[in-house]
Structures are given as structure tokens and as C-alpha cells.
């Protein structure tokens, strides 16, 4: 008869071989964070800029297989469970891609652009986010891809 330790090991190996152990751990972490989250202090609404930033970060995390971190980001931020379409992100950020850039997250391309820019040290002027406004036709979000 198998011992408890042997059963635990067999269960762990089975879950790992089915690639679900990491997903289960991530889901448990997300639920623990959700349970610990102070609901008395409501989160601010997810602004358009935050939605885009979170999506860039999620794409980066998924690419690098940081799935636990991505699941916690999604749970804590209120980001939709289904990722936004990459082409939508590129359009919103006014980015054009070549075939080589499509194999890496958009965040890599953005960082690479600024690191490798040949502006002879010229600085880029950054602005804070715009004030929330009523959604326009160009700023409405597409349906998440399935």
C-alpha cells in the first residue's frame, strides 16, 4: 500500500506532466491576494492608459513564462482575463512593426527603440496621462480575442 508521501509525489508528478501544477499555484495565489485585498478601499477605475500598460506588461510576462506573476497582475489590476489583441495595442500606441518585431513583446520593441535611438542624446519629452474623458470611437476597446 502506498504511503501518503508516495501519493503526494505521484500527484505532483502527474500535475506537472499535465502542465497544470503551475496554473493551480497561480490561481491559488491570485485567490489569496483577492481574499486579502481590502475591499473597503475601492480601486480607482482602470484608465485607458493603465489598461494599455498592464497589457504590455502581461504580454512581456507571458512571453517570458512568468505565468504566476501574470495571473496575479490580472487578478489585482482588474484587467480582463482575455488579453487584448496585439494589433489593437500597436494601433493605440501608434506603432508600426516589421516581421522581426512581431516575435517579441511590444515592450521589447519600445525599449529597443529608445535604447538604440540615434538622436545623439536628445531626450524624449514625456507627459502625464490625460484626464479621463468620455470614450470616443477611436478609444473604444475591441472585443477580447478568444
The pLDDT tens digits for 83-130 are 999 999 999 999 998 888 889 999 999 998 888 877 766 777 777 776
**CATH fold of the domain at 9-38+46-114:** Mitochondrial Import Receptor Subunit Tom20; Chain A (1.20.960)
The predicted pLDDT at position 120 comes to 67
Measured at the alpha carbon of residue 23, what is the angle toward residues 28 and 9, in degrees to the nearest 5? 90
Determine how many CB atoms are found less than 10 A away from the CB of residue 105.
Answer: 20
pLDDT at 88: 94
Per-residue model confidence (pLDDT) at position 144? 54
Give the model's pLDDT for residue 52. 95
Tell me: pLDDT of 54 over 70: yes
CA distance linking residue 62 with residue 73, whole number of Å: 11
Confidence grade of residue 38 (pLDDT, cut at 50, 70, 90): low
The residues spanned by each domain of the chain are 9-38+46-114
Amino acid at each position: 500500500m502506498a504511503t501518503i508521501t508516495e501519493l503526494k509525489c505521484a500527484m505532483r508528478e502527474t500535475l506537472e506532466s499535465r502542465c497544470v501544477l503551475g496554473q493551480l499555484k497561480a490561481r491559488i495565489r491570485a485567490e489569496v491576494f483577492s481574499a486579502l485585498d481590502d475591499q473597503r478601499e475601492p480601486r480607482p477605475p482602470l484608465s485607458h492608459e493603465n489598461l494599455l500598460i498592464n497589457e504590455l506588461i502581461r504580454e512581456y510576462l507571458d512571453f517570458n513564462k512568468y505565468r504566476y506573476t501574470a495571473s496575479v497582475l490580472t487578478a489585482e489590476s482588474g484587467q480582463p482575463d482575455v488579453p487584448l489583441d496585439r494589433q489593437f495595442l500597436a494601433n493605440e500606441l501608434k506603432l508600426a512593426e516589421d516581421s522581426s518585431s512581431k516575435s517579441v513583446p511590444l515592450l521589447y520593441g519600445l525599449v529597443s527603440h529608445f535604447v538604440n535611438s540615434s538622436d545623439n542624446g536628445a531626450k524624449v519629452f514625456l507627459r502625464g496621462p490625460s484626464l479621463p474623458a468620455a470614450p470616443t470611437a477611436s478609444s473604444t476597446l475591441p472585443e477580447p480575442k478568444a
